[in-house]
Structure 1
Amino acid sequence: MRITTLVRSVYSFSFICILGICSQVISKGLLSGVLMRLR
């Protein structure tokens, strides 16, 4: 029981971290694209 809950928590944490990194990369890409278009 404890091992499965630990694995689930670690999996969800890593998933959230990956989502955060992806969102940051996408936002930076959009910002750079807008800046390039403005220039």
Structure 2
Amino acid sequence: MDSARALIARGWGVSLVSRCLRVSRAQLHVILRRTDD
């Protein structure tokens, strides 16, 4: 899931990234939070 974080870090919106990955925004937040641990 590092690619999703990289896209967001580059300035892509969370909604845009989630649309590309076909996951919900809530799910994306959970994934990003999980990788922080």
- TM-score, structure 2 normalization: 0.37
Considering only CA atoms, is the larger Rg found in Structure 1 or Structure 2? 1
Point out the structure with the larger helix share.
Answer: 1
Structure showing greater relative contact order (alpha-carbon pairs closer than 8 Å, 6 or more residues apart):
2
- TM-score, structure 1 normalization: 0.35
